[in-house]
């Protein structure tokens, strides 16, 4: 049996497959949001007649010790975690864009200050910073968002700053100046097309971090309050019931969290492939 490496018989080319993957990822998140909305109040309603039921066809994620449907709770938890993560990632990426631009364009002093801040931010362990800031901000969704946004910008800032510094000394930027193009024109046509993909991909790749850190903070008790159905809260609660054999309380939300983080990671990587000219036309 011989296999030919050069003629892969896939029905679509790589570009179409990348686009399909991106579409599938977006559909996945749409399904989570819509079904969480469709479930309405169901996740909070206690039904003592249906306590501690293991997963079945009727209730794929089982029920907890108060008879609440775990699928509904997981979906709602994911929705909350995703919105918190998305807000935090967007804020973080925006801070990174501002700082990166400022460091590269506004001269030496600003650059020194920003790089120093970046070094400090990267030297402090994330979780310590997260707990401190979240605690100082009073916890809750607000605390988590502020803490995650304030601790995740340094790496992307560094990338954006380096990108612009490198671009500014590139031959084609100097050439553009010789063609009589002004700084605004150069920034819009030459710099932005380089920085925007970094920004978008950086934000998408920040997102898995932010969800996991938000869930981690909540799990440790410094984030969302116990009665909100966040993924971290679900996982923390399930700890107490694991020894009683209610394994599905931890496994189902845990897998759901891992899957959504992985899907977002896929989304980011496929976006990068699409936006980079070296891979976009393959």
Binding site for other proteins (CB under 8 A): 170-172, 174-176, 178-181, 190, 193-194, 277-278, 281
Nearest alpha-carbon partner for 195 in 146, 150, 160: 160
Beta carbon of residue 276, minimum distance to other proteins (angstroms, whole number): 9
Q: Which is nearer to other proteins, 142 or 174 (CB)?
A: 174
Beta carbon of residue 172, minimum distance to other proteins (angstroms, whole number): 5
What's the rounded Cα separation, in Å, for the pair 83 and 74?
14
Q: Which is nearer to other proteins, 51 or 190 (CB)?
A: 190
Q: Which is nearer to other proteins, 8 or 278 (CB)?
A: 278
Beta carbon of residue 189, minimum distance to other proteins (angstroms, whole number): 8
Beta carbon of residue 174, minimum distance to other proteins (angstroms, whole number): 6
Count of C-beta atoms within a 10 Å radius of residue 1? 2
Which structure tokens are listed for 1?
């049996």
Q: Which is nearer to other proteins, 198 or 238 (CB)?
A: 198
- Kindly write down the DSSP assignment for every residue of 153-165, as one continuous string: HHHHHHHHHHHHH
Residues 6+ apart with CB under 8 A from 161: 99, 100, 103, 104, 111, 114, 115
Nearest alpha-carbon partner for 42 in 6, 70, 20: 70
3-state secondary structure of 152: coil
Q: Which is nearer to other proteins, 100 or 253 (CB)?
A: 100
Q: Are 28 and 263 in contact (CB under 8 A)?
A: yes
Beta carbon of residue 180, minimum distance to other proteins (angstroms, whole number): 4
């Amino acid at each position: 049996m011989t296999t030919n490496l050069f003629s892969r018989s896939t029905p679509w080319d790589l570009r179409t497959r990348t686009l399909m993957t991106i579409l599938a990822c977006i559909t996945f998140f749409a399904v989570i949001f819509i079904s969480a909305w469709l479930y309405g109040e169901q996740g909070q309603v206690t039904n003592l007649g249906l306590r501690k039921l293991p997963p079945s066809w009727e209730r794929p994620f089982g029920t907890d010790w108060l008879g609440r449907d775990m699928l509904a709770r997981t979906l709602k938890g994911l929705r909350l975690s995703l919105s918190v993560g998305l807000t935090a990632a967007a804020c973080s990426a925006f801070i990174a864009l501002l700082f990166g631009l400022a460091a590269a364009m506004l001269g030496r002093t600003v650059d020194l200050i920003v790089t120093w801040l970046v070094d400090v931010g990267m030297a402090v362990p994330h979780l310590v910073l997260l707990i401190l800031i979240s605690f100082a901000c009073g916890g809750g969704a607000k605390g988590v968002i502020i803490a995650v946004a304030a601790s995740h910008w340094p790496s992307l800032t560094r990338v954006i700053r380096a990108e612009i510094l490198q671009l500014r000394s590139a031959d084609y930027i100097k050439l553009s100046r010789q063609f009589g193009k002004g700084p605004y024109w150069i920034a819009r046509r030459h710099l932005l097309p380089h920085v925007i993909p970094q920004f978008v991909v950086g934000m998408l790749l920040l997102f898995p971090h932010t969800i996991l850190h938000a869930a981690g903070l909540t799990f440790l008790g410094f984030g969302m309050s116990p009665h909100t159905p966040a993924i971290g809260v679900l996982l923390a609660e399930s700890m107490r019931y694991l020894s009683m054999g209610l394994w599905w309380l931890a496994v189902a939300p845990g897998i759901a969290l891992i899957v959504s983080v992985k899907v977002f990671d896929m989304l980011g990587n496929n976006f990068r492939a699409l936006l980079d000219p070296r891979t976009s036309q393959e």
